[in-house]
Structure 1
Amino acid sequence: MLQINQFENEIETVERESLMEAFYQLGKESVCPETPSFSKSGGETGSGGALSLLFRNTPAQRPLQEHTHVSDIEILSLSPDGRYQVQAIPWEAGNSHWVFPPQIIDTQNGNVVFGFEDDLWSADRSTWLSPTRVELKLRKYPGHRGRLGLTVIIECALRTAEYGDGTHIELALLESTLDGMLDLLG
């Protein structure tokens, strides 16, 4: 068993080095200034557009974890015209308890339209109401508050959200607003 584990570790190291080389090459060839690129050593060097779907440019602006591979990204839904996609990098919060923190990506330029700072938010469902409006059914792990979840409609083109009785807010305020709603639910 030890030999198998050592072999698997060697494969993971080679995969990680290959992925970093690919990131380096993509960053060199890129023309989009708003996305970080990475050197062969893994350090951030400046801009790189092709990496925008691989790296989060949510308010936290953090790259995917070292052990995360592009194949770990799950596309939850795609807008009818293909312009926007809801994606998540699921993680196991507990024994068979999976959390799907949603991100909405503009596929034309790779920018993140919306993403939660706190990876405890999980999308149970995403339904496109129009080419630019998506309804998300959300819960926050561990789910003891708001057990039925919260529903929000995000207008991707306008960068706004609608919740509750039709109240509209800027996406920058959405996460704190949803946290406040959960506090009220107890």
Structure 2
Amino acid sequence: MLAEQFFLQGRFKLETIPHEMRMSHWVYAPRLTDTQSGQVLLDLVGQCWDCQSAIERDNTLCLTLDGYPDRANWLELAFFPETGRVQLKAGNINAKALMAQAFHPHELTGYLDTLRVNLLR
């Protein structure tokens, strides 16, 4: 994945910042910025979420994240620029209560922290 990419006609800038979780175990953490407002919508630098893919789908930006160290635990985040909301889909994670919600980007990090703590138990 490129270190910096732009999506939805330049509306979103995605940076993936590598950091070492353990010796030779690298995670590429996403930082997503709304270029129109300059607001950072998502910043997971230094955390355990690894950005696996980023694609545009029906005027949304979809990010797929894996939770380190168990990469079978993945999430898809869909950012909707018209509403300013984010939806979450989860694979192999019991997050059904979250999947039904659309929430604001500033609430996202707290949800991801809660999911990660539950995964590590």
TM-score, normalising length from structure 2?
0.69
Q: Tell me, yes or no, if the aligned pair for 1:153 and 1:162 is still in contact at 8 Å.
A: yes
CA–CA separation in structure 2 for the residues paired with 1:104 and 1:150: 16
1:176 aligns with 2:110: yes
The answer as to 2:83 corresponding to 1:149 is no
Name the CA shift for 1:179/1:119 in 2 (closer, same or farther; >3 Å).
Answer: closer
Structure 1 residue ranges, 4+ long, deviating more than 6 angstroms after superposition:
none
Alpha-carbon spacing, 1:118–1:171, altered in 2? closer, same or farther (3 Å): farther
Q: Could you give the per-residue CA deviations for residues 10-44 of structure 1, whole angstroms, max 9, x where no partner exists?
A: xxxxxxxxxxxxxxxxxxxxxxxxxxxxxxxxxxx
Counterpart residue identity of residue 114, structure 1:
L
Deviation at 1:157, TM superposition (A): 4.6
Residues 49-88 of structure 1: CA deviation (Å, up to 9, x unaligned): xxxxxxxxxxxxxxxxxxxxxxxx911x421312212112
Structure whose alpha-carbon radius of gyration is higher: 1
Match 1:88 to one of 10, 16, 26: 16
Residue 104 (structure 1) aligns with: 32
SS of match in other structure, 2:55: strand
Aligned mate of 2:50, from 115, 122, 129: 122
**Could you say which structure has the higher strand fraction?**
2
% of aligned pairs identical? 24
- The equivalent residue for 2:84 is 159
Cα distance change of structure 1 residues 156 and 117 upon mapping to structure 2, 3 Å threshold = farther
What's the offset of the Cα at 1:104? Answer: 1.0
Larger RCO of the pair (alpha carbons < 8 Å, separation 6+): 2
Q: Please provide the CA RMSD for this pair.
A: 2.7
Query: In the alignment, does 2:74 pair up with 1:140?
Result: no
Judge conservation of contact 2:67–2:73 (CA < 8 Å) in 1: no
**Structure 1: runs of 5+ lacking an equivalent:** 1-72
Secondary structure at the aligned position of 2:110 is classed as helix
Report the TM-score, using the length of structure 1 for normalisation. Answer: 0.49
Give the Cα–Cα distance (whole angstroms) in 2 for the partners of residues 157 and 90 of structure 1.
Answer: 30
SS in structure 2 of the partner of residue 142 of structure 1: coil
Amino acid at match of 2:55: T
